[in-house]
C-alpha cells in the first residue's frame, strides 16, 4: 500500500517529506543538548533523594546526549562546591516552587506521551511499517538509561537524610517515607553524602550506560528519520514540542541541583 501511495505522490511532495525526515532525524541529537543528562537525574535521586521528581524529569526529557564516564567525577566534584545562599524570602517559597516543578514535569510527561501516541497512530515508520510503538519505545529506553545511571552513581555515592524535626520521621515505613519526602520538598532536611572509591561495579555500570546512550542516539535517529507522511510544518511542530519538554525539565533540574549544593 505504501508503494501505491508513493507511485501516485508528486515529486514535490516527496521532496518535502524528505526534508522533514532530515529535520526529524537530527532532532534527537539536537534536543539532547538542551535536555536533562542521566548524571543529573542520578544525583537528584541518589544524593537529593528526590526519586519521584528525578523519574518525572527522565520521562519528560527522554532525549540523551553522548557523554564520557569521567563526567560522573565532574558532577560529584561539583557537589562539594557550595552554591551561594538564597535570600530567606525565596527559601520560604520552596514548597510552592517544588509543587510547580512537579506540575511542569507532569505537563512535560503528558506532552511526550501524547506526541509519541500521535506519531504511532498517524504516521508510518519505514523501518518497521507494522509497528506503531517505536517512538514510545525510544522514550522508554531513555528512561531506563537514566535508571542505569542512577545505579552507577549509587556505586560511588551514598547519602543520608537528617531531618530537622525527628518527630516528622516517626511512624510506619510508608508514613515515614512520605513525611521524609515532604521534608525534602520543603527543604526541612539536611542531606549528608559520602563518596566511595571507584569500584569494578561502578566502572561496569558507567561503561554499560555510556554504550547504551550511544545506541539510544542511533536508534532515535533511525526512528525519527524513517517517519513517513509528515510535512515540514509538522516536523517543526514535533521538534518544537520535544524542545519545550526538554527545556522545562532542564530548568527544573538546574534549579534543584543549585538548591542541593546550598
Q: pLDDT of the chain along its 262 residues, tens only?
A: 656 765 566 666 767 778 888 889 888 888 888 888 888 898 888 888 888 889 999 999 888 877 776 777 777 777 776 666 666 766 777 778 888 989 999 999 999 999 999 988 888 888 887 888 899 999 889 899 999 999 988 888 877 766 555 544 445 545 555 555 555 555 555 677 777 788 888 888 888 888 998 899 999 999 999 888 788 888 999 999 999 999 999 999 988 888 877 6
SS3 for 138-157 is HHHHHHHHHHHHHHHHHCCE
- pLDDT tens digit string along 41-88? 988 888 888 888 899 999 998 888 777 767 777 777 777 766 666 667
Distances (CA, A) of 165 to 161, 172, 174, 228: 12, 16, 18, 58
Nearest residue to 43 via CA among 182, 153, 141: 153
pLDDT for 249: 93
Domain boundaries defined on the chain: 12-63+89-162+183-261
Structure confidence at residue 146 (pLDDT): 92
**Is 228 in a helix, a strand, or coil?**
strand
For residue 155, the model assigns a pLDDT of 86
HEC assignment per residue over 65-88: CCCCCCHHHHHHHHHHCCCCCCCH
In DSSP terms, which residues pair with 191 in a beta bridge? 161
Question: What pLDDT is attached to residue 250?
Answer: 92
- How much is the pLDDT for 223? 92
Measured in whole angstroms, how far is the alpha carbon of residue 131 from the centre of its chain? 24
Please, where are the H alpha helices in the chain?
2-7, 11-32, 38-46, 51-60, 71-80, 88-92, 94-122, 134-154, 173-185, 200-225, 232-260
Per the CB < 8 A criterion, the answer to whether 225 and 135 are in contact is no
Residue with cell 508514613: 175
Amino acid at each position: 500500500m505504501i508503494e501505491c501511495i508513493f507511485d501516485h505522490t508528486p515529486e514535490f511532495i516527496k521532496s518535502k517529506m524528505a526534508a522533514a525526515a532530515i529535520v526529524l532525524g537530527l532532532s534527537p541529537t539536537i534536543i539532547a543538548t538542551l535536555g536533562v543528562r542521566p548524571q543529573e537525574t542520578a544525583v537528584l535521586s541518589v544524593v537529593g533523594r528526590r526519586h519521584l521528581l528525578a523519574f518525572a524529569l527522565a520521562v519528560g526529557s527522554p532525549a540523551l546526549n553522548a557523554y564520557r564516564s569521567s563526567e560522573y567525577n565532574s558532577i560529584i566534584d561539583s557537589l562539594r562546591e557550595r552554591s551561594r545562599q538564597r535570600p530567606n524570602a525565596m527559601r520560604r517559597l520552596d514548597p510552592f516552587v517544588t509543587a510547580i516543578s512537579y506540575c511542569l514535569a507532569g505537563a512535560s510527561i503528558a506532552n511526550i506521551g501524547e506526541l509519541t501516541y500521535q506519531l504511532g497512530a498517524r504516521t508510518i515508520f519505514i523501518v518497521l511499517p507494522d509497528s506503531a510503538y517505536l517512538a514510545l519505545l525510544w522514550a522508554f529506553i531513555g528512561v531506563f538509561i537514566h535508571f542505569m545511571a542512577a545505579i552507577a552513581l549509587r556505586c560511588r555515592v551514598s547519602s543520608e537524610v537528617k531531618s530537622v524535626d525527628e518527630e516528622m520521621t516517626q511512624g510506619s515505613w510508608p508514613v515515614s517515607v512520605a513525611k521524609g519526602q515532604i521534608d525534602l520538598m520543603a527543604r526541612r532536611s539536611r542531606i549528608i553524602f559520602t563518596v566511595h572509591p571507584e569500584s569494578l561495579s561502578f566502572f561496569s555500570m558507567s561503561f554499560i550506560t555510556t554504550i547504551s546512550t550511544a545506541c539510544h542516539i542511533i536508534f532515535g535517529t533511525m526512528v525519527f528519520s524513517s517517519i513517513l507522511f509528515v510535512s515540514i510544518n509538522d516536523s517543526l511542530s514535533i521538534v518544537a514540542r520535544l524542545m519545550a519538554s526538554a527545556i522545562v525539565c532542564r530548568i527544573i533540574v538546574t534549579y534543584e541541583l543549585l538548591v542541593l549544593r546550598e
